């Protein structure tokens, strides 16, 4: 970890740039604040060459509530929105990296979702650095019972990206007030009871539901093909399920559940709360 004299002027410039690129939220975490997550900290130390990371810039963009209210009927609407938001965050991260480079600093963005290291013990996806945790350390909000970052502005309806840098930025203070009100709407809304009232999310229950045509689904489908006789193999690869995998591999978006994002009342306007509870009660 590098220790440099931080610059308030540079920090304001970088924050303004992030917002002008289209982010709704931006915060700065110090590299030191991430020491409490040893697994992630190891990556933070390794990703930028010595002298290494001094600060993490965390950017967020909002998910419009109306998009989530359609999702149970037709997941493609929320999937398309997710694709757009991740593309936008990717653009923001790339442009910020170029901006840092032009100012004489290094920058390296942690991907929004993919690619991630594929790890045996988590049966697949496990990121180097968790945006929820960097966002907490950057003062954007705190974690709810649904395991997601809640922000005062948008509740959990925010997607995130983190950029590691050696620029001497001034860190933000953690958000002081706990945002989750323990209403348990997320617990009730989860179709597979993956969210515990203690705020622990059982990813082994969530993943097969949310990723039914993602990695867990693909493994199951491939196993079915391998075991089938020739006629059944032909039938399987001519099925809409196989085409759905093709579609997901093209878009890079394979989430089929948005319930824990939709159900949370935090950050919703009165009007959205009314629509949400009428349409989904």
In angstroms, what is the minimal distance from the CB of 163 to ligand B12?
Answer: 12
In angstroms, what is the minimal distance from the CB of 10 to ligand SF4?
Answer: 35
In angstroms, what is the minimal distance from the CB of 279 to ligand B12?
Answer: 18
C-beta closer to ligand B12: residue 11 or 130: 130
Cα separation, 61 vs 177, in Å, equals 21
Please list, in sequence order, all residues whose beta carbon lies within 8 angstroms of the beta carbon of residue 108, skipping any fewer than 6 positions away: 47, 48, 97, 163, 164, 165
125 binds ligand B12 (CB under 6 A): yes
Which residues form the interface with ligand SF4 (CB under 6 A)?
A: 144-146, 180-186, 190-192, 194-195, 201, 206, 209-210, 257, 259-260, 263-264, 266
31 binds ligand B12 (CB under 6 A): no
Q: What are phi and psi of 141, to 5 degrees?
A: 165, -160
Residues facing 25 on adjacent strands: 60
Q: Give the nearest residue (CB) to ligand B12.
A: 127
- The first and second tokens of residue 243, run together, are 């085409």
Pairing of strands 107-110, 118-119: unpaired
In angstroms, what is the minimal distance from the CB of 8 to ligand B12?
Answer: 28
Number of Cβ within 10 Å of residue 195's Cβ equals 26
130 binds ligand B12 (CB under 6 A): yes
Rounded (5°) CA angle 89-95-101? 135
255 binds ligand B12 (CB under 6 A): yes
Q: Give the nearest residue (CB) to ligand SF4.
A: 144
Q: Are 265 and 155 in contact (CB under 8 A)?
A: yes
* Residue 125 parent element (H or E): strand 124-125
Q: Alpha helices of 74-210 — where are they, by DSSP H?
A: 75-102, 131-137, 185-189, 203-210
Residue 192 binding result from ligand B12, ligand SF4, none, given CB thresholds of 5 to 8 Å by partner type: ligand SF4
In angstroms, what is the minimal distance from the CB of 250 to ligand B12?
Answer: 18
Cα separation, 105 vs 94, in Å, equals 14
C-beta closer to ligand B12: residue 47 or 236: 47
Residue 122 binding result from ligand SF4, ligand B12, none, given CB thresholds of 5 to 8 Å by partner type: ligand B12
- Residue ranges binding ligand B12 (CB under 6 A): 39-40, 82, 110, 112-113, 116, 122-127, 130-132, 146-149, 156, 158-160, 201, 203-204, 206-207, 210-211, 255, 257-258, 260-261
């Amino acid at each position: 970890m590098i220790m440099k004299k931080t610059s308030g002027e540079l920090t304001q410039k970088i924050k303004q740039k992030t917002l002008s690129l289209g982010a709704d939220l931006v915060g700065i975490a110090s590299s030191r604040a991430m020491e409490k997550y040893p697994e992630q900290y190891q990556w933070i130390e390794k990703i930028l060459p010595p002298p290494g990371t001094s600060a993490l810039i965390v950017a967020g963009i909002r998910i419009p509530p109306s998009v989530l209210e359609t999702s149970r009927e037709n997941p493609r609407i929320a999937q398309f929105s997710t694709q757009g938001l991740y593309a936008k965050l990717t653009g923001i991260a790339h442009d910020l990296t170029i901006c840092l480079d032009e100012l004489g600093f290094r920058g390296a963005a942690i991907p929004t979702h993919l690619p991630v290291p594929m790890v045996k013990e988590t049966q697949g996806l496990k990121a180097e650095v968790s945006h929820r945790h960097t966002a907490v350390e950057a003062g954007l909000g705190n974690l709810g019972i649904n395991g997601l970052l809640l922000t005062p502005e948008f509740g959990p309806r925010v997607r995130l990206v983190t950029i590691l840098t050696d620029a001497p930025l001034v860190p933000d203070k953690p958000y002081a007030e706990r945002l989750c009100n323990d209403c348990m709407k997320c617990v009730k809304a989860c179709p597979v009871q993956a969210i515990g009232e203690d705020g622990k999310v059982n990813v082994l229950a969530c993943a097969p539901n949310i990723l039914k045509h993602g990695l867990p689904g693909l493994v199951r489908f491939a196993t079915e093909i391998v075991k089938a006789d020739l006629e059944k193999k032909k039938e399987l690869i001519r099925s809409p399920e196989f085409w759905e995998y093709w579609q997901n591999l093209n878009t890079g978006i394979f989430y089929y559940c948005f319930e824990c994002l939709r159900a949370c009342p935090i950050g919703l306007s009165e009007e959205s709360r009314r629509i949400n509870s009428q349409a989904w009660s």
